[in-house]
Structure 1
Amino acid sequence: MSLLDLTIRNVKRNFRLYTIYLFSMITGVIIQFTFSSLMYNEDIMDALQNRGNFQTGVAIASVVVFIFIIFFILYANSFFMRQRKKEFGMYLLYGLSERQITVMVFYETLFISAISLVTGVLLGGLLSKLFGMLLMNLMQYDQVISLSFPVQAMLSTAGLFFLLALIISVQSYIMVNRVQLTELFHAKQRSEKPVRVSAVIAIFSLLLLGMAFALISSGKGSTFWQDYATWSMIAVTIGIIGGTYLFFRQFAGWLLQALSRHKSYHEGNTVLWTSSLRFQIRGNTLNLTFISLFSAAIMMLMCFMTINYKVQFDAVGRNLPNHIAFQSLEQATNAKIDDLIKSSKHEITFHLTHEGLVVSPVTDMHMAVDNPEYYTSDILLVSQRTYNELIAKRGHKQSVKLQGNEAVTLSQGSDFPKRYAPGEQSSFTVRTDTETTFKLTEKKDYAYLGWASDPEDSMIKKPAVFVISDAAYQDMSGHADTKSFEIYGIGDARNAEELSKQVHAIVTQTPGAYYSSFADVYSKQIEGSSLMLFSSGFLALIAIFALASVIYFKQLREATDERQQYSILRKIGVDNRQMKNVIRKQLLFVFFPPLVLGVLHSWFIINYYILDSVQGFPGLTGMVWGIMGVYFLIYLLFYVSSTNIYYKIVNEND
C-alpha cells in the first residue's frame, strides 16, 4: 500500500476528527477569498472616491487576516497531531520513517486544502456579492454589486493556502521528531495532578485585578495617567494579565478546594463535577486565561471600530463645519469662485463674508487648546456677533454671550472641554501693537472655521480662534491686522468633491491662503472608517472561529480522556439526566468566569478610555452593550454546543 492510499484511508477512518479541521479551512478560504475579491471588484472600484487608499487598506488587511488564519489553522493542526500520537507510534513501529509520516501528513493537508479551496472559493464568490453590498451600505453608496469570481483573487488565495500547507507540514514534522516512541504510545494515558493552591495568592489575584480596574476607572485625566502614564500602563497590564492567570490558577482552585471541604460536598452531584475540575486546573489555566483576554480583545476591537465608524459621520462635520470656506482674495477672484459655485449642481444655502483680527499669543497656547501643534501660530479673534451669526446659519445651539474682556477659546476635538466658574477663569494675553489680556470663560469643543483641507492631503492645520465680546473687538479693531473669509453653505455637500477641487485650484494660486471644504475629508473618512469596520468584522469572525476551535478542541480532548470515568458512573447507576446535569455544571464553571472577566476587561477600557472621549455623541453606550450582548449570545451557543458534544463523546462505546 502506497503512502497516498494510506492517506486516503486515514482521512476516511478519521473523518469526524477532520470535520472541524475541514470546516476551519473552508471558513478561512471563504474569508480570505471574499476579502481579496473586494480589491478586484469593478463595481466597488467605480463607486469609490479614493481607490488607491482602498486597495492599499484591503491589501494590508488581507495580510493581517491571513496571518490570523495561519495561527488559527496551526492551532487546529497541533491538536490533531496530539490526538494522533498513538497512531503515529504504530506507524513507526511498523517501519515507517519520520519523513514518510510527514509526507503522509503533507498529502492529507493537500487533500483537505484542495477540498477547502474549491468549496471556499465557490461559497466565497457567492458571498462576495453580499459582503460587497454590505460594504457599500456602510459607505452609504447606492451602488449595485454584481456576482464575480476575480481570477486574481482565486490565484492569490490558492497560493496563500499552498504556502499554509507547507507551513503545516513543517509544524507536523517538528512535532513528530520531538516525541519519543514510548511517549507516543502513552500520550493519552497521562493524568494531571491537582495544582497546589494558596489562599494568599488567590486573594492576591483579586487584588491585582482590582488594582487594574481602579487605575482604569480613575480616568485619563487623573494624576496616575497624567504624571505616571508609563508606570500606570505597566501596572494595568500586569494587573489584567497576571491577575487573570492567577485567578484561574489559584483562585479557581482555592474555590473548588473550599467547596470540597463544605459539609454538603457529598450531597447531590457536587462531588462529581468538582472532582475532575480540580485535576484540570493545571492544564486549563493558560486556555482559560487566553479565552478571557481574547474575548476582551474581540469585544474591544468591534466596539472601538463601530464607535469610530459611528463618530466619523458627525466628526467630519465637527472638524470641517463649513461646506466651503476660504480666505477672501481679490474681488475678481471671489466673484469667479462665486459664479463657479452658482453654476454647479450644488445650491447655495447661505454665503457670509466674515472678518477677524489676527493677533499673536503671549500666554502658552496649551492653556487655550489641546495639542497646539495642530493649530496655526497666530490667533484669529472674532466678535460675538459674527460668531453667533454663523452658528445661527448652521442651526447649532453653540451661541455665546460675552462682555468686557471675556473670551471663549474654540478647541475642537478637546478631550477636556470646560466652562470656567467665576473666580476660576484663566488669563490669556495676546499681542497686537500692544498687549491685551482676556479672561477665558470657556474652552469649547467646537470649530468656527475648522481644519484647512486639501482634496488630496485631507486635513492640514486649523486656525486658532477666540470669540471675544463685541465691545472688546471694537476696541482692538484699530490695533490689529484683519483677515476676511468667505463661508458658503451648499446643498449635497457630501458629493461636492469635484466642485471643491475646482475652487481649491483657484484659491491656492494665492500662496498660504486658507481653504477648507467638508467634501475633501468626508469621503476619505467615511470610506476609511467603513473599511476599518468591515475588516475588523472579518478579523472578529476569524477570531470567534478560532476561539470556538480552542473551546471545542479542549472539550473534545477532555471528554475523550474522561470517557472511562463516565462509563464507571453509568455502571454505578448515574442516569443520563444526572450525567447531563454534571456536564452542564462542570462546563459552566469553565465557560462563565472567562466570559465575566472578558466583559469586565473590555467594558472598563471602553467606558473610561473611549466612551469618555466621545461623550457628545448619543447612543454609543447602548451600542457597546449591544455588541457585548451579541458576543454573550455567541458564547452561550458555544456553551450549549460544547455540552452536547461532551455528552455524546462520553457516551460513545469504548
Structure 2
Amino acid sequence: MNFRQFAINNVLRSKRTYIAHFLSSAFSVMIFFTYGLLSFHPQLKDGLVSSSGTLSMLGTMGMTVSQYIVFVFSFFFLLYSVGAFIKVRKKEFGILMILGMSRKQLNRMLFIENILIGAAAIIAGMGIGMLFSKLILLISAKLMAVDQGLPFYFPLQALVMTAVAYAVLFLLIALFSSLMLRKGTLLALVKAEESPKPQPKASPWLAVLAVFLIAAGYGMVMAFAILQIFNLLLLLGGVVLVITGTYFLFTQFSVYFMRYLQKRERFFFRKTNLLTVSELLYRIKDNAVMFFLVSVISASAFTGIGTTLAIGDPGLSAMENPYAYTYSMYDEDEDKGNRHLDIIREELKKGGLDYKEAEVTPIFTDNGVKLIKLSEYNGLIQSLGYPAETLGDLEGILTPGTVSEKNSYRIDGPLSDQFEVLNGKTSEIVKVLKAETFIAVPESYGETLVVSDRLYEDALQAQQDQEYGYAAYHTFYVQDWKNTGDVSRSILERFNENEDNSYYLKSLYFDWKNAQQQNGILLMVSGLVGIVFFTFAASFVYFRLYADLARDEQQYRMIAKVGLSKKELGIIITKQLVIMFFLPMLIALIHSGVAFVALQQLVDFSIVGHSLKIFIFFLSIQIMYFFITRWRYLERLNKMIQ
C-alpha cells in the first residue's frame, strides 16, 4: 500500500465522521451551480422577459452577490468543519508521528484527504445540480414570473465556473488544514484528550442583562414598525441589541439556568436528571458560541425568506392601488379617451369579469390644497365596498394617497383639524371631520381633502382662466383582479394599434407581475442563501457532537459499568440532542417571529401564512436531521459501551 492509498483509506475509514462535511460541501456546490445555471441562461442573460432595465440590473447584481456570499461563507464553514475533525484526530496524528511519520508526510496526507473530499463534493454537487436542472429552471421560471418559461440548456459555462471556483476553495482549505497542525508539540498531539474541566460559572448580572438587551431590542424594532419611526439607526440598534443579548443568553443565562436546576434537589436527583443536567451544563458552556451563531444565522434565513415571500404577495401591490385599471385623460382628449374607456369595458365584459367604475378629478386651490368633491369620492369608496359619506358645506375628510400617509393617519390622525381653501379673492376655513385609513383616490400624492360639491365647484370656477387642465382618473375595480392578465394584454394591444402616447393606463396586474419578477429575484437570492446558511448552521451541531464523541464514549462506557441501561442512555442522549438541535432554533423562531409581527404592522394583508410556511419548512428539515443524527449517534455509543 503506497502513501496515496493510505490517505484514501483514511477517508474511507472515517466516512461516518466526514459524511456531514461532505454532504454540506456538495450542497453548497449545488447551490453555487444553481446560480451559475440561471446567470448564464440564454433567456436571462439580457434581463428578465417583460421586466424593466432596473429589474435586469437587480437580477444580475443579486445573482452575482449571492454567489460571492455562498462562496465566502462556504470557505469559513469548511475551514471550521475541517478544524473540528482535525481536533478529533489529533491523537491519531500523534501516534502516526511516533510510528515514524514526518510532519511533511502528515501535512501531505491531510492535503490529499481534503483534496479527495473536495473533488468528490464538486462532482456530487454538480451531478445533483445537473440531474435536477430542469426542475430548477421550472421552479425559477415560476418564481420570477417568466411567462414563456426557462427552457433547458447544457450549462457548460456554469459547470466550468463552479468546478474552477470550488477547486480553488478546496485547495485553500487543504493548505490551511496543514497549517492547523503546525502549532503544538508531539506530546500535545498524543495527549489531545480533554483534561477535566472546571465547573462552568455564569454571572447572574450578565444573565439578567441578556434578557434586558433582547427585550430592549424587540422594543426598538416594534417602535420602528408600530409607531412608524422610520429611522435606520433605531432599527439597526434594535438588531444589534438582540444579537448581543442572544450571545449573553447562551454564554451566561443558559449556564446560570442549568446551575439553578442543579440546586433544585427534587428535580436534579430524579431518575437520570443528574446525568442529563450535568452533561448539558458542560455542553451548553462549550457550545455557547456555536449556539449563538446558529441562532443568528437561522433567524436571518427565516426572516429574509419570509420577508421576500411577503413582498411578492398580491396584497402588497393592491395596498397603494386597489383598482384593476386606472385610466387618466384630459379634457382636450375627451373623444379618444372615451373610446379607450369603451375598449376597457368591452374587454372586461368579454373576459366575464364583473367591475365597478368610478371617476375623480383632483384639483388644486390657489394656496395649493388638493381637493376632490364628495360625490366623486363616494363613487370611489362605494366601488370598494365602503358606505357613502356626508359633509356640510365647510366640512372635509382627509384621504391618504400613499401607504405612509395612511399609516400616519392611523397612528397620529390628521395633522391639522382645519384647512384654509383660497379661491381667488375668497378664503374659507374647512373643518376636518376625520382622516381615512384606507386608500381610495388613485395617483394621489400629498394630502387630499374631500369637500362638498359646492366648495369644489367654487374652487374650479375660480381657476377658469388657467392655461392647463386637470387630469380625470377613471377607475375600474375588479375583485378578482389577479386573473385580468389576458384582458390587460388585449386592452393594450387595441390601444397600441394606431394611438399615440397621450393616454395612460395603469394595470394592477402588470404592476403585480413586475413586482413578482423583482420578488422572484429576491426570493431566489435570499432563499438559496438562506437554505445554505441553515444547512451549515445545522451541520455545526453535527461537528460539535463528533468532536466530543471520544470523550462521550469513554464517559458513558464508565457509567454503563455501574448500571446505565441502553434505554436510559437513549433518554439522556435524546434530551441533550433536543436541546442542542432545537434550543438555537427556538430562539431563532422567536427572533424571526418578532420580526414578522413588526412587518405585519407595515402591511394591510396577512403574512401569517408566509411565516408559518417558513417555520414549518425549516422545522421539518431540522426534525429529520435530528432523528438521523440521534440514530447514528446512539448506534455508535451503544457499540462502544457493549
Q: Which TM-score tier does this pair reach, normalised by the shorter chain?
A: 0.7 to 0.9
Change (3 A) 1:176 1:329: farther
Q: How many residues align?
A: 618
Q: Is the 8 A contact 1:556 1:645 kept in 2?
A: no
Partner residue in 1 for 2:165? 160
Alignment of 1:55-134 (within 5 A): 55-90=60-95, 101-134=106-139
Match of 2:262 among 252, 260, 263: 260
Distance 1:380 1:207 in 2: 48
Alpha-carbon distance between aligned partners in 1 of 2:543 and 2:447, rounded to the nearest angstrom: 58
Secondary structure at the residue paired with 1:418?
helix
- Whole-Å Cα distance in 2 between the matches of residues 483 and 505 of structure 1? 27
Cα distance in 2, alignment partners of residues 346 and 102 from structure 1: 74
Contact conserved, 1:44 with 1:132, CA < 8 A, in 2?
A: no
Contact 1:308 1:529 in 2 (8 A): yes
Shift of 1:21: 1.8
Aligned residue in 1 for 2:39: 39
Tell me, in whole angstroms, the C-alpha distance in 1 between the residues paired with 2:335 and 2:73. 55
Kept in 2: contact 1:49–1:523 (CA 8 A): no
SS in 1 for 2:362: strand
Looking at structure 2, the residues matched to 103 and 447 of structure 1 have their Cα atoms a distance apart, in angstroms, of 72
Partner of 1:438, secondary structure, is strand
- 1: CA distance between counterparts of 2:218 and 2:243? 12
Q: Does the C-alpha gap of structure 1 residues 92 and 471 become closer, same or farther in structure 2, counting only changes over 3 Å?
A: farther
Q: Equivalent residue for 2:530?
A: 540
Per the TM alignment, residue 139 of structure 1 is displaced from its structure 2 partner at its CA by 4.7
Query: Alignment partner for residue 208 of structure 2, among 203, 221, 237?
Result: 203
Change (3 A) 1:604 1:96: same
The more displaced of 345-354 and 57-66 is 345-354
Partner in structure 2 of residue 579 of structure 1: 569
Q: Note if 1:450 corresponds to 2:448.
A: no
Matches within 5 A, 1:341-352: none
How far apart, in 2, do the equivalents of 1:144 and 1:233 lie?
39
Can you give the 5+ residue segments of structure 2 that lack an aligned partner in the other structure? none
For 1:600, the equivalent position in structure 2 comes to: 590
Where does 1:410-489 land on structure 2 (aligned, <5 Å)?
Answer: 410-414=400-404, 416=407, 418=409, 426-429=417-420, 431=422, 433-434=424-425, 435-440=427-432, 441-450=434-443, 462=445, 465-480=448-463, 482-485=469-472, 487=474, 489=476
Matches within 5 A, 1:539-578: 539-578=529-568
Q: Secondary structure of 2:640's match?
A: coil
More deviation, 36-45/478-487 = 36-45
What is the alpha-carbon distance in structure 2 between the residues aligned to residue 329 and residue 14 of structure 1? 81
Rounded Cα–Cα distance in structure 2 between residues aligned with 1:431 and 1:64: 58
Q: Distance in 1 between matches of 2:39 and 2:349?
A: 35
SS in 2 for 1:294: helix
Partner of 2:20 in structure 1?
20
C-alpha displacement of 1:127: 1.6
The answer on 1:388 being equivalent to 2:378 is yes
1:651 aligns with 2:638: yes
Structure 1 residue identity aligned to 2:252:
Q
Which deviates the most, 333-342 or 3-12? Answer: 333-342
Measure, in 2, the Cα distance between the counterparts of 1:12 and 1:2: 15
Is 1:326 the counterpart of 2:324? The answer is no
- C-alpha displacement of 1:84: 2.8
Secondary structure of the equivalent of 2:82?
Answer: helix
- Structure 1 residues 170, 538: closer, same or farther in 2, change over 3 A? same
In the alignment, the residues of structure 1 paired with residue 246 and residue 50 of structure 2 have an alpha-carbon distance, to the nearest angstrom, of: 46
Asked if the contact 1:500/1:520 (under 8 Å) is kept, the reply is: no
Verify the 8 A CA contact 1:272 1:582 in the aligned structure 2. Answer: yes
Shift in Å, 1:271: 1.5
Offset, 1:318: 3.1
Deviations 1:162-202 (A, max 9, x none): 12113313432332234443332222334432222344443
For residue 649 of structure 1, report the CA deviation from its aligned partner: 2.9
Q: Is the 8 A contact 1:383 1:469 kept in 2?
A: yes
State the Cα RMSD in Å.
4.0
Segments of structure 1 that go 5 or more residues without pairing to the other structure are: 362-377, 452-461
Q: What is the rounded CA distance, in whole Å, between the counterparts of 1:22 and 1:422 in structure 2?
A: 59
Aligned-residue offset at 1:205: 3.0
* CA distance, structure 1, for counterparts of residue 414 and residue 299 of structure 2: 45
Quick one: which amino acid aligns to residue 625 of structure 1? L
Residue 473 of structure 1 and its aligned partner are, at CA, apart by 0.6
Residue 435 of structure 2 aligns to a residue whose secondary structure is strand
User: How has the CA–CA distance of structure 1 residues 406 and 154 changed in structure 2, closer, same or farther, with 3 Å as cutoff?
Assistant: same
Higher relative contact order, chain-length normalized (CA < 8 Å, sep 6+): 2
Tell me the distance in 2 between the aligned counterparts of 1:271 and 1:343. Answer: 77
CA distance in 2: counterparts of 1:533 and 1:646, whole angstroms = 35
Per the normalisation by structure 2, the TM-score is 0.83
Q: Residues 356 and 233 (structure 1 numbering): CA distance in 2 closer, same or farther, change over 3 Å?
A: closer
